[in-house]
Amino acid sequence: MEDDEFRAELQHQRNEAANLARAELKGLMLKSICVFADAMEDPNPQIRLKAARDSAYIAIKIDENETLRNRIDRLDDAIHLWKEKDFD
């Protein structure tokens, strides 16, 4: 663990594993949405309510994440422009 090259490779492998896990989760999103849709048609009102709440919560989180991503992108753009600016 004291070898810089080893630590860099370990971090690279961890990043790759995380990227693969994210890709797998994204692939399951459609299936998850179908499960929520089916649950919202369940005859049990408690199941329908839970599916509706969970779906709404996830939709809100997706919207929040998109808003944050847009803000981060704008900040990155501003930093990039600022770094390019000639202050002489």
Any residues with CB less than 8 A from the CB of 39 and at least 6 apart, and which?
A: 47, 48, 50, 51
State residue 61's pLDDT score.
95
Distance CA 16, CA 84 (A): 32
Helices (H) and strands (E) in the chain, counts: 2, 0
Tokens of 52: 């509706």
Q: For helices 45-84 and 4-39, what crossing angle results, to 10°?
A: 140
Q: Per DSSP, which regions of 1-88 are E strands?
A: none
Per-residue pLDDT of the chain (88 residues; tens, 9 = 90+): 788 999 999 999 999 999 999 999 999 999 999 999 999 999 999 999 999 999 999 999 999 999 999 999 999 999 999 988 876 5
State residue 2's pLDDT score.
82
